[in-house]
Structure 1
Amino acid sequence: MPASATSTVVTGVGGGAIAVQYLRPQEWVDSMIGLVALCGRIFDRGLPGWAIVRGVFNFIEKNRDAGIDEVAKEVKEVL
């Protein structure tokens, strides 16, 4: 499984579990529409993990031939 898919699943399950515990929508499991909404909540928690991993991979690919000093300078500019 590619790393971006793995990160989406891991952040979706972890972030989804945190969201379910924090928002307490456990009564949603009593209906089919509630289950779909709960799964949607879990899915949307995975998207930030995917975006972060894709951004890091794109940064690494862009700076593949750069030296560590050039990479550090670019990271410092961004932050």
Structure 2
Amino acid sequence: MEPVSTSGFAAFLKFYGAAVVITLAIALVATVVIMMRLPRSPQEWAVGLICTVISSLTGGAFIIVKWGLHEWVTDVWGMIALGGFFFVCGLPGWAIVRWTFNFINRQEGKTIIEVVKELKQTKDDLSN
């Protein structure tokens, strides 16, 4: 039987090390977001958790791919730095979803024309 090769073992550690760092970053950002903005209901808690995880994964992955930061996976400090990207990208996810749903809830009962007029008015107010 052939002994375990060091290159295969190193690849194994890099993959699982990156998975641990990403999981830890996502867990921490979800904890921070939910503790700072307490959900009003169990459904809101679940939505907040899902949105935080998705924005963390997609935003962190976007930054890593966009700027070619894959080479940082060579050591533990590079993986920790990449985990920081996942953490920071997860922070605005819950806020953006909450703002969107608050806006949608305020529009309930209005026609699409009234909603478009309000959006145009808000846009004009912001540009002045």
TM-score normalised over the length of structure 1: 0.70
Equivalent residue in structure 2 for 1:31, among 75, 98, 122: 75
| Distance in 2 between residues matched to 1:21 and 1:72, nearest whole Å | 36
Equivalent residue in structure 1 for 2:63, among 5, 10, 19: 19
Computing the radius of gyration over CA atoms, which structure comes out larger, 1 or 2? 2
Structure 1 residue 55: Cα displacement: 0.8
> What SS class does the counterpart of residue 67 from structure 1 fall into?
coil
Structure 1 residue 5: Cα displacement: 2.3
Q: Confirm whether residue 40 of structure 1 aligns to residue 74 of structure 2.
A: no
Give the root-mean-square deviation of aligned CA atoms. Answer: 2.2
The structure whose RCO (Cα within 8 Å, separation 6+) is larger is 1
Counterpart amino acid of 1:67? Answer: K
Structure 1 residue 38: Cα displacement: 0.4
Equivalent residue in structure 2 for 1:53, among 84, 94, 97: 97
Q: How many residues align?
A: 78
Identity of aligned residues (%): 40
User: Which stretches in structure 2 are left out of the alignment for 5+ residues?
Assistant: 1-44, 124-128
TM-score normalised over the length of structure 2: 0.49
